Amino acid sequence: MNTTVQVFPVLGLPVHLSDNYPGYLLSRLNQGLGSHVVTLNAEMCMQAEKTSRLANIINSADLVIPDGAGIVFYLRLKGKKIKRFPGIELAESLLSQITTFYPSPSVFFFGGAPGVGIAASETWHHKIPEVAIVCQHGYLSGDEETQLKETLKQLQPQLIFVGLGVPRQEFWIAENKHLCPHSIWVGVGGSFDIWAGTKERAPAWFCDNNLEWLYRLYQEPWRWRRMLALPQFAWKAIWHRA
Ligand code: UDP
Protein backbone atom coordinates (compact mmCIF):
# COMPACT_ATOMS: atom_id res chain seq x y z
CA MET A 1 0.00 0.00 0.00
CA ASN A 2 1.13 3.52 -0.84
CA THR A 3 2.67 5.25 2.17
CA THR A 4 1.84 8.76 1.03
CA VAL A 5 -1.57 10.37 0.72
CA GLN A 6 -2.62 13.60 -0.95
CA VAL A 7 -3.20 16.55 1.35
CA PHE A 8 -5.72 19.33 0.67
CA PRO A 9 -6.09 22.51 2.77
CA VAL A 10 -9.41 23.25 4.49
CA LEU A 11 -9.36 26.80 5.89
CA GLY A 12 -5.63 26.45 6.37
CA LEU A 13 -5.77 22.99 8.00
CA PRO A 14 -4.66 19.81 6.23
CA VAL A 15 -7.09 17.05 5.24
CA HIS A 16 -5.69 13.85 3.79
CA LEU A 17 -7.52 12.40 0.81
CA SER A 18 -7.67 8.63 0.50
CA ASP A 19 -10.19 5.92 -0.27
CA ASN A 20 -8.60 3.59 2.27
CA TYR A 21 -7.65 5.31 5.55
CA PRO A 22 -7.55 2.10 7.64
CA GLY A 23 -5.30 0.42 5.04
CA TYR A 24 -2.96 3.41 5.07
CA LEU A 25 -2.70 3.39 8.89
CA LEU A 26 -2.24 -0.38 9.16
CA SER A 27 0.49 -0.23 6.53
CA ARG A 28 2.26 2.46 8.60
CA LEU A 29 1.84 0.32 11.71
CA ASN A 30 3.40 -2.60 9.87
CA GLN A 31 6.42 -0.45 9.06
CA GLY A 32 6.83 0.50 12.72
CA LEU A 33 5.58 4.04 12.12
CA GLY A 34 3.38 5.56 14.80
CA SER A 35 0.40 7.70 13.75
CA HIS A 36 -1.63 10.42 15.37
CA VAL A 37 -5.03 10.63 13.68
CA VAL A 38 -7.30 13.68 13.88
CA THR A 39 -10.92 13.28 12.81
CA LEU A 40 -11.72 16.77 11.56
CA ASN A 41 -15.12 18.43 11.53
CA ALA A 42 -16.31 22.00 11.06
CA GLU A 43 -16.63 22.65 14.79
CA MET A 44 -13.02 21.64 15.32
CA CYS A 45 -11.86 23.85 12.43
CA MET A 46 -13.51 26.86 14.04
CA GLN A 47 -11.98 25.97 17.43
CA ALA A 48 -8.56 25.75 15.78
CA GLU A 49 -8.97 29.31 14.45
CA LYS A 50 -9.16 30.51 18.04
CA THR A 51 -6.69 28.09 19.65
CA SER A 52 -3.28 27.98 18.01
CA ARG A 53 -2.27 24.98 20.14
CA LEU A 54 -5.07 22.94 18.54
CA ALA A 55 -4.20 24.25 15.05
CA ASN A 56 -0.55 23.22 15.54
CA ILE A 57 -1.56 19.73 16.61
CA ILE A 58 -3.83 19.28 13.58
CA ASN A 59 -1.07 20.59 11.32
CA SER A 60 1.43 18.07 12.64
CA ALA A 61 -0.94 15.05 12.80
CA ASP A 62 0.06 12.09 10.63
CA LEU A 63 -3.45 11.70 9.28
CA VAL A 64 -6.43 14.08 9.25
CA ILE A 65 -9.63 12.48 8.00
CA PRO A 66 -12.85 14.22 6.85
CA ASP A 67 -15.11 13.29 9.78
CA GLY A 68 -17.76 15.98 9.36
CA ALA A 69 -20.27 16.90 6.67
CA GLY A 70 -18.89 20.47 6.65
CA ILE A 71 -15.44 19.27 5.60
CA VAL A 72 -16.92 17.22 2.75
CA PHE A 73 -19.02 20.25 1.71
CA TYR A 74 -15.88 22.44 1.68
CA LEU A 75 -13.91 19.91 -0.36
CA ARG A 76 -16.77 19.61 -2.89
CA LEU A 77 -16.83 23.40 -3.27
CA LYS A 78 -13.14 23.18 -4.16
CA GLY A 79 -13.76 20.39 -6.70
CA LYS A 80 -12.61 17.44 -4.54
CA LYS A 81 -15.16 14.67 -4.38
CA ILE A 82 -14.53 12.69 -1.24
CA LYS A 83 -16.78 10.62 1.00
CA ARG A 84 -17.22 11.53 4.64
CA PHE A 85 -15.37 9.10 6.91
CA PRO A 86 -16.52 9.43 10.54
CA GLY A 87 -13.92 8.74 13.24
CA ILE A 88 -16.09 6.05 14.81
CA GLU A 89 -16.08 4.14 11.51
CA LEU A 90 -12.30 4.48 11.24
CA ALA A 91 -11.94 3.07 14.77
CA GLU A 92 -14.31 0.20 13.94
CA SER A 93 -12.44 -0.62 10.71
CA LEU A 94 -9.11 -0.63 12.54
CA LEU A 95 -10.47 -2.99 15.22
CA SER A 96 -11.96 -5.30 12.59
CA GLN A 97 -8.83 -5.38 10.40
CA ILE A 98 -6.02 -5.37 12.97
CA THR A 99 -6.01 -9.17 13.34
CA THR A 100 -5.02 -9.47 9.66
CA PHE A 101 -1.62 -8.09 10.68
CA TYR A 102 -1.39 -9.06 14.37
CA PRO A 103 -2.89 -12.41 15.49
CA SER A 104 -3.43 -11.22 19.08
CA PRO A 105 -3.28 -7.44 19.11
CA SER A 106 -3.44 -5.20 22.12
CA VAL A 107 -5.79 -2.23 22.19
CA PHE A 108 -6.31 0.54 24.76
CA PHE A 109 -9.52 2.51 25.35
CA PHE A 110 -8.96 5.69 27.40
CA GLY A 111 -11.93 7.92 28.22
CA GLY A 112 -15.62 7.95 28.96
CA ALA A 113 -17.40 7.81 32.28
CA PRO A 114 -16.52 4.96 34.68
CA GLY A 115 -17.93 1.69 33.30
CA VAL A 116 -18.43 2.96 29.75
CA GLY A 117 -15.07 1.75 28.40
CA ILE A 118 -15.59 -1.68 29.96
CA ALA A 119 -19.05 -2.02 28.39
CA ALA A 120 -17.61 -0.85 25.04
CA SER A 121 -14.76 -3.36 25.25
CA GLU A 122 -17.23 -6.17 26.02
CA THR A 123 -19.15 -5.32 22.85
CA TRP A 124 -15.92 -5.72 20.89
CA HIS A 125 -14.82 -8.80 22.80
CA HIS A 126 -17.95 -10.59 21.53
CA LYS A 127 -17.14 -9.61 17.94
CA ILE A 128 -13.38 -10.25 17.96
CA PRO A 129 -12.33 -12.27 21.02
CA GLU A 130 -8.66 -12.41 19.91
CA VAL A 131 -8.25 -8.63 20.49
CA ALA A 132 -7.15 -7.86 24.06
CA ILE A 133 -8.69 -4.55 25.13
CA VAL A 134 -7.58 -2.69 28.27
CA CYS A 135 -9.69 0.29 29.41
CA GLN A 136 -9.34 3.30 31.64
CA HIS A 137 -12.13 5.82 32.24
CA GLY A 138 -11.46 9.47 31.53
CA TYR A 139 -11.93 11.08 34.95
CA LEU A 140 -8.57 10.47 36.62
CA SER A 141 -6.71 12.02 39.54
CA GLY A 142 -3.09 13.10 38.95
CA ASP A 143 -1.74 9.87 40.49
CA GLU A 144 -4.08 7.71 38.43
CA GLU A 145 -2.97 9.47 35.28
CA THR A 146 0.69 8.84 36.14
CA GLN A 147 -0.16 5.17 36.60
CA LEU A 148 -1.99 5.13 33.25
CA LYS A 149 1.10 6.48 31.49
CA GLU A 150 3.23 3.72 33.07
CA THR A 151 0.73 1.10 31.89
CA LEU A 152 0.78 2.45 28.35
CA LYS A 153 4.61 2.44 28.32
CA GLN A 154 4.66 -1.21 29.32
CA LEU A 155 1.78 -2.41 27.13
CA GLN A 156 2.74 -0.66 23.87
CA PRO A 157 -0.72 -1.35 22.39
CA GLN A 158 -1.07 -1.32 18.62
CA LEU A 159 -4.22 0.83 18.83
CA ILE A 160 -4.86 3.57 21.39
CA PHE A 161 -8.29 5.22 21.26
CA VAL A 162 -8.70 8.35 23.38
CA GLY A 163 -12.28 9.51 24.00
CA LEU A 164 -12.06 12.67 26.10
CA GLY A 165 -13.91 15.02 23.71
CA VAL A 166 -12.41 17.75 21.52
CA PRO A 167 -9.91 19.36 22.11
CA ARG A 168 -8.94 17.60 25.38
CA GLN A 169 -8.22 14.32 23.60
CA GLU A 170 -6.05 16.00 20.93
CA PHE A 171 -4.01 17.76 23.63
CA TRP A 172 -3.65 14.52 25.59
CA ILE A 173 -2.46 12.55 22.58
CA ALA A 174 0.01 15.25 21.52
CA GLU A 175 1.50 15.31 25.03
CA ASN A 176 1.69 11.55 25.46
CA LYS A 177 2.21 9.92 22.08
CA HIS A 178 5.96 9.64 22.77
CA LEU A 179 5.06 6.93 25.34
CA CYS A 180 4.04 4.55 22.53
CA PRO A 181 5.84 5.85 19.44
CA HIS A 182 4.81 2.96 17.18
CA SER A 183 1.08 2.95 17.95
CA ILE A 184 -1.93 4.31 16.10
CA TRP A 185 -3.46 7.03 18.32
CA VAL A 186 -6.99 8.19 17.48
CA GLY A 187 -9.15 10.80 19.25
CA VAL A 188 -12.55 9.08 19.15
CA GLY A 189 -14.87 11.55 20.98
CA GLY A 190 -17.98 9.79 22.25
CA SER A 191 -17.42 6.45 20.42
CA PHE A 192 -17.12 4.46 23.67
CA ASP A 193 -20.60 5.70 24.68
CA ILE A 194 -21.98 4.40 21.39
CA TRP A 195 -20.27 1.00 21.61
CA ALA A 196 -21.36 0.74 25.26
CA GLY A 197 -24.96 1.50 24.23
CA THR A 198 -25.28 4.55 26.51
CA LYS A 199 -25.71 6.80 23.43
CA GLU A 200 -27.07 6.11 19.98
CA ARG A 201 -25.63 6.99 16.61
CA ALA A 202 -27.95 8.74 14.18
CA PRO A 203 -30.03 6.41 11.98
CA ALA A 204 -28.41 5.57 8.62
CA TRP A 205 -30.61 8.04 6.70
CA PHE A 206 -29.15 10.99 8.67
CA CYS A 207 -25.57 9.70 8.23
CA ASP A 208 -26.05 9.07 4.48
CA ASN A 209 -27.40 12.58 3.97
CA ASN A 210 -24.67 14.37 5.96
CA LEU A 211 -27.18 15.23 8.71
CA GLU A 212 -25.67 13.36 11.65
CA TRP A 213 -25.06 16.75 13.33
CA LEU A 214 -28.83 17.46 13.24
CA TYR A 215 -29.64 14.21 14.99
CA ARG A 216 -26.98 14.95 17.61
CA LEU A 217 -28.50 18.33 18.23
CA TYR A 218 -31.90 16.67 18.72
CA GLN A 219 -30.37 14.13 21.15
CA GLU A 220 -28.15 16.62 23.00
CA PRO A 221 -29.77 20.09 22.65
CA TRP A 222 -27.15 21.60 24.99
CA ARG A 223 -24.81 21.38 21.99
CA TRP A 224 -26.55 24.31 20.25
CA ARG A 225 -23.94 26.84 21.36
CA ARG A 226 -21.06 24.70 20.09
CA MET A 227 -22.95 24.12 16.86
CA LEU A 228 -23.13 27.83 16.08
CA ALA A 229 -19.68 27.11 14.63
CA LEU A 230 -21.35 25.26 11.75
CA PRO A 231 -22.97 28.26 9.96
CA GLN A 232 -19.75 30.24 10.61
CA PHE A 233 -17.79 27.47 8.94
CA ALA A 234 -20.21 27.33 5.98
CA TRP A 235 -19.92 31.10 5.50
CA LYS A 236 -16.12 30.93 5.54
CA ALA A 237 -16.10 27.91 3.23
CA ILE A 238 -18.12 29.77 0.61
CA TRP A 239 -15.93 32.90 0.72
CA HIS A 240 -12.51 31.33 1.29
CA ARG A 241 -10.33 31.40 -1.82
CA ALA A 242 -7.80 28.65 -1.08
N1 UDP B 1 -14.86 12.65 28.80
C2 UDP B 1 -13.89 12.08 29.59
N3 UDP B 1 -13.19 12.86 30.47
C4 UDP B 1 -13.41 14.19 30.57
C5 UDP B 1 -14.39 14.79 29.73
C6 UDP B 1 -15.09 13.99 28.84
O7 UDP B 1 -13.66 10.88 29.52
O8 UDP B 1 -12.74 14.84 31.39
C9 UDP B 1 -15.60 11.79 27.86
C10 UDP B 1 -17.11 11.79 28.03
O11 UDP B 1 -17.48 10.91 29.07
C12 UDP B 1 -17.55 11.33 26.65
C13 UDP B 1 -16.46 11.88 25.72
O14 UDP B 1 -15.39 12.29 26.56
O15 UDP B 1 -17.52 9.92 26.59
C16 UDP B 1 -16.86 13.11 24.92
O17 UDP B 1 -17.81 12.77 24.02
P18 UDP B 1 -18.42 13.82 22.99
O19 UDP B 1 -19.40 13.08 22.17
O20 UDP B 1 -18.90 15.04 23.72
O21 UDP B 1 -17.12 14.18 22.14
P22 UDP B 1 -16.92 15.30 21.04
O23 UDP B 1 -18.28 15.74 20.54
O24 UDP B 1 -16.17 16.41 21.69
O25 UDP B 1 -16.10 14.61 19.99
Per-residue model confidence as pLDDT tens digits over 33-80 = 999 999 999 999 999 999 999 999 999 999 999 999 999 999 999 999
Q: Is 187 in the pocket of ligand 1 (CB under 6 A)?
A: no
Q: Which of 39, 137, 168 to mutate to test the pocket of ligand 1 (most atoms within 8 A of CB)?
A: 168
- 133, 98 Cβ separation under 8 angstroms: no
Atom of ligand 1 nearest to the CA of 137: 7
Q: Is 89 in the pocket of ligand 1 (CB under 6 A)?
A: no
Q: What is the pTM of this model?
A: 0.95
What number is the average pLDDT over the span 89-107? Answer: 95
Q: Is 165 in the pocket of ligand 1 (CB under 6 A)?
A: yes
Q: Is 138 in the pocket of ligand 1 (CB under 6 A)?
A: yes
For ligand 1, atom 25: residue with the closest CA: 189
Task: Tell how far the Cα of 172 is from the centroid of ligand 1, in angstroms.
Answer: 13
What number is the average pLDDT over the span 201-209? Answer: 89
pLDDT higher than 60, residue 98: yes
Task: Tell how far the Cα of 137 is from the centroid of ligand 1, in angstroms.
Answer: 10
**pLDDT band at residue 130 under the 50/70/90 scheme:** very high
Predicted pLDDT at 241: 58
